[in-house]
Structure 1
Amino acid sequence: MSASIRECLELQLLEMEMLFSMFPNKEDIILDDAKFVPSIRNYVEGIQHTLPPFVGYTVFVKTEDEKVKAEMHVSLPHSYPTKEPQLFVRSDSLEKQQHNDLNKGLSSFISSLDRGDLCIMNAVQWLKDNLPSYIQNIKHNTEPESDLKRLPTFHRMWIYSHHIYRQELKKKILDCAKCLNLSGFCLTGKPGIICVEGEKDHCEEFWRDIRYPNWKHISCKHAETIEVTGTIDNLRLFTSFEELIFAAHGDYGLRNDYHMDLGQFFDYLKQHQSEHIFQILFGIEGRS
């Protein structure tokens, strides 16, 4: 098994080299972590014996006339190309339904290819060729707006992670929540807890963005949905989105592997009428 994984990782390295030559500008292809390549190379050469993390990167694609831009997020399992890659495309030029249709079309195209063959460059070309048709689809399907605006749906998500340490990940969580007008918090350390509340579509977009490409040990433990009759803000338990840092215990060197004081966290939940969530998150009753 390890031999076939090693062969797959060799092919992944080869494909990345081809992509870098295909996209010479640094801003056109961005790795999720710059350590991916040396870690994989060390494993392939037998210097490293533990499996490297999954490869993840983003390719920024433009149509031939450069009028439409899209970003294709790529996540590769260790056994790619014998298994399909995980791909997700976003574009400011597309509406929600067109995003769904485009990603379904791309997924169908990838499924039609022979497993064992590298396919990211094929996916890039497919995107360049087909992206304009989805833009046209928006124009054809546009209908006059109804006099009655659709009422938004309020949503609150309680997300549990084994830990949240990395500075760039914390920044991504904070930036994404603020960009989508979500309130709530991110409890960093071990465990890591995230709460977001706001419009349902925005919460789901946040959840999709932060867990991509393959964040292990993260799950949505509980979600609440309410039809809005007044305003979204009247349903919020939190006034903004903030990072929580409580007293910690345990410090194991460079990893900063510390556990948050859950008593303080329980008090914080009580202050925001959410103490019942403690048992949902941890399986035990909370105490100050």
Structure 2
Amino acid sequence: MVDSLKSKIDEVELLLSMFSEDEIKLGDKKSYLNIKRHAELNVIPEKTDVDFVIKLKKKVELSVVLPDGYPSWNTHHPVKPLITLRLLSDNSILGMNIRELSSHFYHCHHIRSPIKRRLILEWSKELELTGCCMPGRPGLIIVEGEETKADEYWRRLRNLQWKHIQLREKEILGIGLYRIRRFQDGFHELTLSQQSWFSWLHEHGVTSEEYRHVFGIPGRLPQNEQQ
């Protein structure tokens, strides 16, 4: 374990020598120096994880965490470093506006009107939202996209005449264009059975528990898809 800790310190020291002080910052310099002193005495301190941030050309920030045990791989569960890559706050670098993304889950008594079905599709396209709609009874709609546009979509929806419609769940996905959405291939109207509808959602990352929590209906896969 001491050899593994010394190897970790060697890696960090190499990086510190490669980058300037403006380019690399230790998350907790005091903690790192304490780890380094213990390693020199061949002693394992209580805390051995090291984190640091590297700024690449002032455009991208690379956050790295080397956890306890790294770089030793002689464990039942391999230890891996955690690396996060993000754009810095100057959004003009790529000419993009970074917005907060969110998911909305709607539950309706029913969706049968051809006009409503057309508007559900048209508004999602206009507002650049992805997701899906299941017409019938009950009617279910999921949209994902820029939070302000998702809120506008909900404003328009509830101004239509419904027997009942409710925003069951609003989930903040995160900030940034690179945040992975569940639905990345547009907006779809799905005329499927409830089991097939859930199967499609399950393929897009919606769990049975999430489905039950949001829609009040158990999410069950068709028998031939159950493991």
Give TM-score scaled by structure 2 length: 0.51
Contact 2:111–2:139 (CA under 8 A) maintained in structure 1: yes
In the alignment, the residues of structure 2 paired with residue 173 and residue 212 of structure 1 have an alpha-carbon distance, to the nearest angstrom, of 12
- Partner residue in 1 for 2:104: 157
- Partner residue in 1 for 2:123: 176
In the alignment, the residues of structure 1 paired with residue 171 and residue 137 of structure 2 have an alpha-carbon distance, to the nearest angstrom, of 24
Q: Pick from 196, 201, 206: which aligns with 1:274?
A: 206
Shift of the 263–236 alpha-carbon distance from structure 1 to 2, 3 Å rule, reads closer
In the alignment, the residues of structure 1 paired with residue 200 and residue 110 of structure 2 have an alpha-carbon distance, to the nearest angstrom, of 19
Shift of 1:185: 0.6
- Partner residue in 2 for 1:244: 190
Q: Give the match's secondary structure for 2:156.
A: helix
> What does 1:27-42 correspond to in 2, within 5 Å?
none
- Partner residue in 2 for 1:60: none
Answer with 158-167 or 277-286: which moved more: 277-286
* Bigger Rg over Cα: 2
> What does 1:61-100 correspond to in 2, within 5 Å?
none
Shift of the 171–154 alpha-carbon distance from structure 1 to 2, 3 Å rule, reads same
| Structure with greater proportional helix content | 1
Q: Give the match's secondary structure for 1:158.
A: strand
Contact 2:108–2:165 (CA under 8 A) maintained in structure 1: yes
Give TM-score scaled by structure 1 length: 0.41
Q: Pick from 179, 185, 197: which aligns with 1:265?
A: 197
Shift of the 270–236 alpha-carbon distance from structure 1 to 2, 3 Å rule, reads closer
Shift of the 179–284 alpha-carbon distance from structure 1 to 2, 3 Å rule, reads closer
Contact 2:168–2:215 (CA under 8 A) maintained in structure 1: no
In the alignment, the residues of structure 1 paired with residue 123 and residue 217 of structure 2 have an alpha-carbon distance, to the nearest angstrom, of 31
Q: Give the match's secondary structure for 2:205.
A: coil
**Greater RCO, 1 or 2 (C-alpha within 8 Å, sep 6+):** 2
Shift of 1:148: 5.6
Q: Give the match's secondary structure for 2:106.
A: strand
Unaligned runs of 5+ in 1: 1-145, 247-260
Contact 1:183–1:197 (CA under 8 A) maintained in structure 2: yes
> What does 1:1-288 correspond to in 2, within 5 Å?
151-231=98-178, 234-246=180-192, 261-275=193-207, 276-288=209-221
Number of matched pairs: 128
Structure 2 residue identity aligned to 1:177: S
In the alignment, the residues of structure 2 paired with residue 192 and residue 172 of structure 1 have an alpha-carbon distance, to the nearest angstrom, of 14
Contact 1:238–1:272 (CA under 8 A) maintained in structure 2: no
The alignment yields a C-alpha RMSD, in angstroms, of 2.2
Instruction: Among all aligned residue pairs of Structure 1 and Structure 2, give the percentage whose two residues are the same amino acid.
Output: 32
Shift of 1:264: 1.2
Q: Which whole-Å deviations, capped at 9, do the CAs of 1:226-281 have from their partners, x for residues lacking one?
A: 3324535x3343411011001xxxxxxxxxxxxxx211122111111102332023
Structure 1 residue identity aligned to 2:212: Q
Unaligned runs of 5+ in 2: 1-88, 222-227
Shift of 1:286: 1.8
Structure 2 residue identity aligned to 1:243: E
In the alignment, the residues of structure 2 paired with residue 151 and residue 192 of structure 1 have an alpha-carbon distance, to the nearest angstrom, of 32
Shift of the 148–165 alpha-carbon distance from structure 1 to 2, 3 Å rule, reads same
